[in-house]
Structure 1
Amino acid sequence: MNHILPTTIRLALISIASYSAIAAASNVLPPATPADIAAILPPEQVVRKTLENLPQLRSGTLNKELAQASKQRLEAGSHEWLMRVSQARRTEQSGDSLRDQEIAIERPVRWFGKASKDAAIGEKTVDMAQLSYADSWHEAGRSLLNDWFDTLRAVAYRQRLQEQADITGQLRGMAEKRVKAGDAARLELMLADTEAKRVEAQLQQAQLREEQQKQALATLYSGLQIVELQQLPAPLKTEQSHSYWVDQIMDDNHELELAEAEAALSKLQASRIAAERMPDPTVGIRAARERSGQERIYGISISIPLSGTARKADASAAALKSKMAEEKYQFTRLKVTREAQRVVSESQKQYTIWQTMHAVQQQSQAQATTALAAYKLGEVSLSDTLQIRRNAIDATLAAEAAQIDALFAHARLELDAHKLWVID
């Protein structure tokens, strides 16, 4: 049996020997390009078709058609023509029987600019429906991006554990040969076998999680196929300033524009309801034949309702709703600003976190490679080798998770800045 050096000396030898391995393993990933990032995302045409077929987007299309119908209704007005026809029979004291007949046509008339106010409300309703559709598109894109990267994480996690299971299997094979050759105690084979089973159990859990994520993705987004890459691209560094990206997100934000449109619509509606304090007159023309046509009457009629406290109360309520909508807009602006700042900061910080985790991964992987070579030569015990390998896989999983988080953060930044999957 080969002599096993004391632990401190063995670890020192590993550290010294690992320098050459680190130099070989620390191959920094080449700088990423937008094409590299696009390679891990689903094709844009597939994304567009998928989003258009989502129930919430189909409902948004119907809502736009409903808004057009509402606009036509408002332009036409709620008043309708009314025709009245009457016929009466009169009997005079002389016994003569005479007939009286009358026909009248009348219609309420919108005045004091009410028709133009209704038209403006109709236009704003259509604008709101379009903004609501755009906001639904953006939210659906966010959900798709989240689900896509969750699946990508599951796939990458399974791939790394598969690699670890293969290496652990190799270690078990080495331990078995050494035990048979009498160079190691049987305990080493038991340790290697336990570690192989532990990693296999983790791999099975990872496979289940990957399968569940893929099933969920296929159920929610028919036609999308996850990309399985052996090596993920390096994340893109956010070059522009923090304020630049915040301005990009704020300049064209559908949620903010929708809240602004709601406030504007509420203001128009309040103005329209306030105009109802001056009721619409009903104008009509009439023609009558009395005494069996002996007398003919032609005329016009105008009737005006007398405004009461109910109209005043409606106007006050509408004004309050308009103020509430304005406050909601201000709240939405604060929320969107805070969210934009968070997304930009996360994109910038995740890139730095990935760089740090990547460096740790390279060093841990180099140490694991050196430890494996040392174990083959009998310079390191199996327990030390297994511990170093656990540290290496933990560092690898953490680095890859940070890499995916950085890729996701940048994609989310471009999505919110309307540089990715922009609605037509």
Structure 2
Amino acid sequence: MTGVLSKLALAAAIAAACIGARGAGLPLAGDLLYALPPEPMVRRALEALPQLRIGAMNNELASAEQSKLNAGPHEWLVRAGASQRRVAGEQRYREQEFGLERGVRWFGKADQDRAIGEKGITLAEAQRADVWHESCRTLMQDWYAALRAQATLQRLTEQHALVQQLKSVAERRVKAGDSPALEVMQADTELRRSEALVEQARQDVAQAVTLLSTTYQQLPVPQPDRLPEPQRAQDAMPERVARITQDNHELELAQTEAQLYGLKARRAASERMPDPTIAVRATRERDGQERTLGLMLSIPLPGQLRSSEAAAATVRARMADERVTQVRNKVQLDAQRAVSEERHSYQIWTSLRAVAEQSARQAQLMERAYQSGESSLADALLGRRQALDAALAAQTAQITALASSARVQLDAHALWSVD
């Protein structure tokens, strides 16, 4: 027990250091502070998810796209031809023609393509970071849902055992003639109700554990034993909100997309001036009696198509800028909601914990009064049911408070960071 307390104290110290200076601090010990699985297991489970593997492939795809943009759209073109010339009253002549041509990007188009390729790499990394963060959120939700189900089953099992004890007491009192037979029926009814609740809780646990084991094969089964106590947030709400909004994957992704669309819009605008094609041409005529060597330059005449594509790219860039504003507002609201939920969930847990302790004492007094013949079984069963409801509500609030705190740390990149 002393070892566990020392670990919790060490984890709390680590948490304080990370919250005060996240850039220089160590990652939070989520398994000790928030009843989460150990971080190495979490990382292995996340890396095995299909969406994260697709994210790694997306990085490879962005590298290939970058290579394509660096190479450019133009290729060398070789032309060769042979013909035969017939002149009246003269002999026939064999003639050959050779050509080598290639389009050339000008007016800084090659530099623009390289910038687009580099931004594509940045976008792929931002997409992978965003997918990682969303996967962490989903894992947390599934984990805490399973933890709540396990806690509910544990409480209902304890309640079922207590109801069995009360039924045994009622049977002894009825046999001794101290209570009416109706009390045995009341106890049996409550016992059957308790059995049904336990069975439903077992089903909920089985479904939650199956979801975890199927989706995250590296994770253990969550256990509600020795849940850590939630900690009150020490920093002011604006500071915690700022830590979330200043380094947010969703906002960074939207900003990177807007920057990429801006680069593409400028690239489309530069296409209004078409690329020239430079060609070298050599001919051999009249069996070599005449030879020519020339240089040719050809430029397409721009039309409405290029102007329309440039206008469409500009509109897409403006739309991406508007999405940045939309995402920024969403991130701000989500951060405020997460920090507010953390504070309120802590207050709710402290209140419900006091209620649960008082209800437990009342239930114990009612059971003793019933065993001594000072109250009825119905009063004892009612007190026990109220104590169960209060204990279950307090433990659920405790798990909710832990989940809210873990969510804030996750969004602030102090827990399970992709880097």
Query: Do they fold alike, i.e. is TM over 0.5?
Result: yes
Separation in 2 of the partners of 1:192 and 1:246?
52
Name the residue aligned to 1:272: 267
Separation in 2 of the partners of 1:86 and 1:148?
72
Which structure 2 residues correspond to residues 156-195 of structure 1 after superposition, within 5 A?
A: 156-195=151-190
Say which of 259, 266, 287 aligns to 2:254: 259
Task: Confirm or deny that 1:330 pairs with 2:358.
Answer: no
Name the residue aligned to 1:306: 301
Separation in 1 of the partners of 2:78 and 2:42?
56
Say which of 94, 100, 104 aligns to 1:105: 100
SS for the counterpart of 2:79 is: strand
Separation in 1 of the partners of 2:88 and 2:202?
105
Structure 1, 289-298 or 305-314: larger mean CA deviation: 289-298
Larger relative contact order (Cα-Cα within 8 Å, sequence gap ≥ 6): 1
1:4-44 C-alpha deviation (Å, 9 max, x unpaired): xxxxxxxxxxxxxxxxxxxxxxxxxx999465744721111
Name the residue aligned to 1:217: 212
Q: Percent identity?
A: 49
C-alpha distance 293-83 of structure 1, shift in aligned 2 (>3 A): same
Give yes or no for contact 1:279–1:307 (8 Å, CA) kept in 2. yes
Give yes or no for contact 2:44–2:218 (8 Å, CA) kept in 1. no
The one-letter code matched in structure 1 to 2:250 is E
SS for the counterpart of 1:297 is: strand
The one-letter code matched in structure 2 to 1:248 is R
The one-letter code matched in structure 1 to 2:164 is G
Structure 1, 92-101 or 346-355: larger mean CA deviation: 92-101
Name the residue aligned to 2:25: none
Name the residue aligned to 2:71: 76
Deviation at residue 100 of structure 1 after TM alignment:
2.1
Deviation at residue 196 of structure 1 after TM alignment:
1.2
Q: Give aligned pairs, total.
A: 395
The one-letter code matched in structure 2 to 1:134 is A
1:45-80 C-alpha deviation (Å, 9 max, x unpaired): 111111111011111111110000000000000100
C-alpha distance 39-360 of structure 1, shift in aligned 2 (>3 A): closer
Give yes or no for contact 2:34–2:230 (8 Å, CA) kept in 1. no
Task: Confirm or deny that 1:406 pairs with 2:401.
Answer: yes
Name the residue aligned to 2:141: 146
Name the residue aligned to 1:96: 91
Unpaired runs of 5+ residues, structure 2, are: 1-7, 16-28
Separation in 2 of the partners of 1:289 and 1:387?
110
Give yes or no for contact 1:106–1:283 (8 Å, CA) kept in 2. yes
Separation in 1 of the partners of 2:119 and 2:230?
42
Separation in 2 of the partners of 1:94 and 1:58?
76
Name the residue aligned to 2:359: 364
1:288-342 C-alpha deviation (Å, 9 max, x unpaired): 2122111221111000000111111111111111101111111011111111111
Separation in 1 of the partners of 2:73 and 2:225?
65
Separation in 1 of the partners of 2:203 and 2:301?
73
Task: Confirm or deny that 1:135 pairs with 2:126.
Answer: no
Separation in 2 of the partners of 1:196 and 1:141?
41
Name the residue aligned to 2:4: none
Give yes or no for contact 1:246–1:340 (8 Å, CA) kept in 2. yes
SS for the counterpart of 1:106 is: strand
Separation in 2 of the partners of 1:393 and 1:374?
18
The one-letter code matched in structure 2 to 1:66 is L
Give yes or no for contact 1:37–1:235 (8 Å, CA) kept in 2. no
SS for the counterpart of 1:292 is: helix
1:333-390 C-alpha deviation (Å, 9 max, x unpaired): 1111111111111011100010001011111111001111111111111111111111
C-alpha distance 271-39 of structure 1, shift in aligned 2 (>3 A): closer
Give yes or no for contact 2:78–2:100 (8 Å, CA) kept in 1. yes
- Normalised by the length of structure 2, the TM-score is 0.92
The one-letter code matched in structure 2 to 1:294 is Q
Give yes or no for contact 2:34–2:406 (8 Å, CA) kept in 1. no
Give yes or no for contact 1:354–1:402 (8 Å, CA) kept in 2. yes
- Over the aligned positions, Cα root-mean-square deviation in angstroms equals 1.4
